[in-house]
Amino acid sequence: MREITIQDGNIEEGYIHGREGRIWYRIAGRDRTKLPMLCVHGGPGCPHDYLKPLELLADDRPVIFYDQLGCGNSEKPDRTELWTIDYFADEINEVRSALELDEFFYFGQSWGTMVGAYYLLNRTQKGVRAAVFGGPVMRARSLADDCAVLVSKLPPEHREAIQKAEESGDYSSVDFAAAVTEFDRRHMCRLEDWPQYVIDGDRKTGWQVYNTMWGPSEFICSGNLKTFDLMPRLSEINIPVLFTCGEFDECTPATVSDYHMAVKHSKLAVLADTSHMHHVEKPREYKELVSSWLGQFEKK
């Protein structure tokens, strides 16, 4: 069931009444005529706000965002047992059904690529014309290993703060926060001043979801995703996939290249001088890249 709360020009917002709670959604370009693009955010638990640059694509197609249950503008049930990849894959079907997305393009960023690929392999590829996976993670161990290498290149005081936090289990220190800030400046978003929409989204993070599924920090995966590994099955993805990453992405170009090589109908684009949020760092360039990719598959 779909409950519309705002309908203003080409913008629509509302709630989808899912089986576990109300899921907030937003459609930009709702009256546009090209095939819609469904955008699935990262985290897990990091709401849609930081994907705002993708609204540039709404000049000719509906661009649909939603906050997964447990974060952002959606309901936040206090149920750690709910936060599994199977729940979030089913949630995609709930969104598709409520918004009548028989055919669409899929865009996933970071965790959104994990649940997106899982959806394609364990639910259905029918109706998904093509996909874009930005800052992708197809194997949790690969991201953890890449982060370990990147952490090893931080200044000694930051490396020591991260090591101390991981050994003690206490991630609340000022020194650890400073280390995370430096890591993020290098590998998450390299802009000197982060846009307000990124900051706003970070404040609405669903930490219960993140801690349950990933863990206490970006650098160590101890949650229920720690054994996540789709590499053996990526060859079963039969739709076209554009993999994108930044030159300095925590999802490193070398690792993303491995994903690309495993998906037969795929392309890899590495954006120079950018990191994990390359869509934020170079929004116009990213818009043109994605628009060109989708345009190839607009018509069957």
Question: Which one, of 48, 16, 92, 72, lies nearest residue 206 by Cα?
Answer: 72
Count, residues in the chain: 300
Taking CA atoms, 179 is separated from 152, 172, 222, 296, in Å, by 12, 12, 20, 42
User: Is 172 considered catalytic here?
Assistant: no
- Strand pairing class (2-8; 22-28): unpaired
Amino acid at the residue 108? G
In whole angstroms, what is the distance from residue 185 CA to residue 32 CA? 36
For the record, the structure tokens of 95 come out as 């969104």
User: Is 249 considered catalytic here?
Assistant: yes
Q: Which of 49, 67, 249, 266 is catalytic?
A: 249
User: Is 276 considered catalytic here?
Assistant: yes
Amino acid at the residue 146? D
Q: Which of 48, 158, 260, 276 is catalytic?
A: 276
Question: Which one, of 126, 103, 136, lies nearest residue 238 by Cα?
Answer: 126
Are 231 and 263 in contact by the 8 Å Cβ rule? The answer is: no
Residue 217 three-state SS: strand
Cis peptide before 240 (omega within 30 of 0): no
Are 23 and 14 in contact by the 8 Å Cβ rule? The answer is: no
E strands in the chain: 2-8, 11-17, 22-28, 37-40, 63-66, 104-109, 128-134, 241-246, 266-271
- Kindly write down the DSSP assignment for every residue of 74-129, as one continuous string: S-----GGG-SHHHHHHHHHHHHHHTT-SSEEEEEETHHHHHHHHHHHHT--TTEE
Q: Which of 110, 142, 217, 266 is catalytic?
A: 110
Which residues are marked as active site? Answer: 110, 249, 276
